[in-house]
């Protein structure tokens, strides 16, 4: 009877170990899935920020060009005023 009890305990321990292994595998898979999703989210955020950066650069370039144009107009106006005097 003692051997049968030992066998039953060993079978229960094996079953418990199989259950624990399945949980570890599931946890590992879930962690990997979450890591992949986080990477995709990070990639999308990087692309969005790069696009926004390009928009800001374009906007800055346009403002600079507009400012230079306005400065040229001001200089011409000042020169015309000076000539009119």
pLDDT of residue 83: 85
pTM, two decimal places: 0.62
- CA–CA separation, 68 and 57 (whole Å): 16
Q: Where in 1-85 does DSSP place strands (E)?
A: none
Q: Where are the domains of the chain?
A: 30-85
pLDDT of residue 82: 84
- Give percent of the chain above pLDDT 90: 91
List, for residues 18-46, the tens digit of each pLDDT value. 999 999 999 999 999 999 999 999 999 99
pLDDT of residue 84: 83
- CA–CA separation, 32 and 77 (whole Å): 67
CA angle 6–12–14, rounded 5-degree value = 100
pLDDT of residue 85: 77
* For range 67-79, the mean pLDDT: 94
């Amino acid at each position: 009877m003692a051997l049968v009890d030992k066998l039953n305990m060993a079978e229960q321990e094996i079953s418990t170990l199989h259950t624990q292994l399945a949980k570890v595998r599931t946890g590992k898979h879930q962690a990997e899935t979450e890591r992949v999703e986080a990477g995709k989210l990070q990639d999308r955020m990087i692309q969005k920020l790069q696009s926004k950066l390009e928009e800001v650069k374009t906007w800055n370039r346009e403002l600079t060009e507009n400012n230079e144009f306005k400065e040229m107009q001001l200089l011409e106006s000042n020169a015309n005023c000076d000539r009119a005097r």
